[in-house]
Structure 1
């Protein structure tokens, strides 16, 4: 394919993408439509991985942008993985490989929907957390101008690739390599903060660097991998903000400092040495599953924010789901019964599953409200989830930076 043919096809693919996003309701306003039409996504995806079936699970097959079929793939409304295990890029292999995705180019529909939800005007100064491939940074720069855009990327290798792509495409935002949870104080204050990673709590730096009346748009997650989707907050004063869950089912990879820590090497020792109590429970691990109920799973995570879950097979017996809080040396083990019911073994200074049961019962008593009926209130000392029409806390996010 000649350079001229490639350029023409890119223009056509962008127009098709625009129509797809308009039809889906993600792209709603003319300024962002013009931005999507102008920014070539292939400039930010010179290569990527696509998932393929392997003998023991998913493998990742490298795709190089020069291949004829790649342009059509790039302009699908799909997320494409660009890094595995924080090190492996498509250029480093010619064969499908195993690995855990650690960087990606997010599906354009979600990128554009978030940009629309950001509610910018032509003079808005924006802090973007997570440069990634640079595609969303380019859209912001196209819409606002690079002088109004600051983007922070945690991974220096990912940041260098994005910087090269942005420069080659003609965009010059302020690019920073560092921990996005710290924001970028040098260019503050901002009118808008947008995060393309998920966080367990709203970082203090974002609040401090957003002007009063400005807003923060992010997705929330936790150590049980339950996402709250998009949350939009208005900063109301020093260390204070209020807003609501938008009711979406969107999620991003967690910000690396907010990702769950690895379980310790002596985990199985202290699990086996514990003397748990056993009892019946009215609920099973389905309350942790977002496929079953998105809101229920996030609220369960809110009840035990420092816990993780793993499945362990005990000999020839069934899979047992362990809810583990290593910091408090507490666990709850959910054991399936032949009649379809569950029993739970608990050990440690706190009954983890009892906290999940209490949260679930409270949610049911409230009429099982969906997540878009909840709000998030942030003060310097607490980040509290409440029902929209209530001042009573439903739960609190873990404290931290």
Structure 2
């Protein structure tokens, strides 16, 4: 068999990806025609860094060097980085921080389905990126109904060019998306394609009563987010709704958090550990980065960063760092042995995490759909089951 042909067959075609998305219930009939007519590849630059599922890394792909490989990745259900380090990156190797991308189609259409747009809906998009998501929305809602705000001028220019080239009439605004687009308000729908640590009230104020806001929201406990769907109250004074499930998005620039400097917290563990049963820590480790337990811990243990290390030779340390001071905790798991716990600083972080775990268990181990968020002019708060039960 021809090696080149065999390599090509290892990648699914766009038709096969679409079939898989339909089978998974992600690509609904309302969006099927849009998927067919608005391909992601029309909005990608010649040089991309798609996430390779086999290696678990972003890989450099150039359309000039290998057009077939570029197209296969463009059509596949993988996220694709299109900018590193806010545009300060050069060369084929990945940069330090991905700062603009084209999300994987399964995530895009899942969010669009949650957004529930109709023909003629006026939509505000926060984070233009490549322009593909805005083009999908414009195809569904009609020309001139989508306004997209992009904080990076170069990214905004490229998206504007791609949208014009494709023939999608979208208003691209260079500015801070956290402020919305007041000159174009009101909107029926607001969708954010960047992760936020707080939903700006400006989005609520610029959305019509009973309108919908969809955004990736997180606590900072990890870098991951949860998708929240908010509906603006009839009074227009607040918005609230439930979380849908886990997602991972690049953060809005103003909501980025600096990486934890481990040495600044814990240059050594030069004091005795406390031993305890390891069931709680083991459940946290096994829950995975996208599990509802880790999300609940982030809600119950504020201003804390969780950093689980990779398991090596049957051992795995779980680190917790306070964002407000230099408190830290480490739980060291080793198969067949009690957990070893170190805590240092004014906060006893492991005690807080363990108490949060006990709370989660006492509530019946709630999943995503039992958590919600309320956003008002005075701020926001998360709740369990009912807005009257704030966390």
TMscore range, shorter length = 0.7 to 0.9
C-alpha distance in 1 between matches for 2:167 and 2:376: 41
Query: Which position in structure 1 is the counterpart of 2:157?
Result: 160
C-alpha distance in 1 between matches for 2:58 and 2:35: 31
C-alpha distance in 2 between matches for 1:226 and 1:364: 24
C-alpha distance in 1 between matches for 2:271 and 2:183: 52
Query: Which position in structure 1 is the counterpart of 2:41?
Result: 42
List structure 1 runs of 4+ shifted beyond 6 angstroms: 52-55, 273-277
Farther off after superposition, 347-356 or 293-302: 347-356
* Per-residue deviation, 1:238: 4.5
Question: RMSD over aligned Cα, in angstroms?
Answer: 3.3
TM-score (structure 1 length as normaliser): 0.81
Within 5 Å, give how 1:203-352 maps onto structure 2. Answer: 203-225=200-222, 227-236=224-233, 237-246=235-244, 248-263=245-260, 268=263, 271=266, 279-280=274-275, 283-284=280-281, 287=284, 290-291=287-288, 294-310=291-307, 320-336=317-333, 339-352=336-349
TM-score (structure 2 length as normaliser): 0.83
C-alpha distance in 1 between matches for 2:236 and 2:139: 31
* Per-residue deviation, 1:161: 1.4
Query: Which position in structure 2 is the counterpart of 1:29?
Result: 29
Task: Confirm or deny: 8 A CA contact 1:279 1:345 kept in the other structure.
Answer: yes
* Per-residue deviation, 1:262: 3.9
Q: Gaps spanning 5+ residues in structure 1: where?
A: 1-12, 396-401
Within 5 Å, give how 1:2-401 maps onto structure 2. Answer: 15-30=15-30, 32-47=31-46, 48-51=48-51, 58=57, 60-64=59-63, 67-87=67-87, 92-93=90-91, 95-97=92-94, 99-225=96-222, 227-236=224-233, 237-246=235-244, 248-263=245-260, 268=263, 271=266, 279-280=274-275, 283-284=280-281, 287=284, 290-291=287-288, 294-310=291-307, 320-336=317-333, 339-388=336-385, 391-393=388-390, 395=391
Q: Gaps spanning 5+ residues in structure 2: where?
A: 1-12
Residue-by-residue CA offset, 1:19-71 (whole Å, 9 max, x unaligned): 333222122134x222222223222113311356999x946322326713332
Task: Confirm or deny: 8 A CA contact 1:59 1:99 kept in the other structure.
Answer: no
C-alpha distance in 1 between matches for 2:224 and 2:94: 28
C-alpha distance in 1 between matches for 2:220 and 2:190: 23
Farther off after superposition, 60-69 or 181-190: 60-69
* Per-residue deviation, 1:310: 4.5
C-alpha distance in 1 between matches for 2:52 and 2:116: 38
Task: Confirm or deny: 8 A CA contact 1:52 1:61 kept in the other structure.
Answer: no
C-alpha distance in 1 between matches for 2:228 and 2:222: 16
Task: Confirm or deny: 8 A CA contact 1:228 1:295 kept in the other structure.
Answer: no
SS at match of 2:129: coil
C-alpha distance in 1 between matches for 2:201 and 2:388: 23
C-alpha distance in 2 between matches for 1:269 and 1:70: 42
State the aligned residue count.
Answer: 371
Query: Which position in structure 2 is the counterpart of 1:10?
Result: none
* Per-residue deviation, 1:107: 1.1
C-alpha distance in 1 between matches for 2:156 and 2:268: 46
Residue-by-residue CA offset, 1:125-162 (whole Å, 9 max, x unaligned): 11101111110111111122342111111222222211
Residue-by-residue CA offset, 1:342-397 (whole Å, 9 max, x unaligned): 2333333332222211111011112212111222233333533323258322x2xx
C-alpha distance in 2 between matches for 1:38 and 1:206: 30
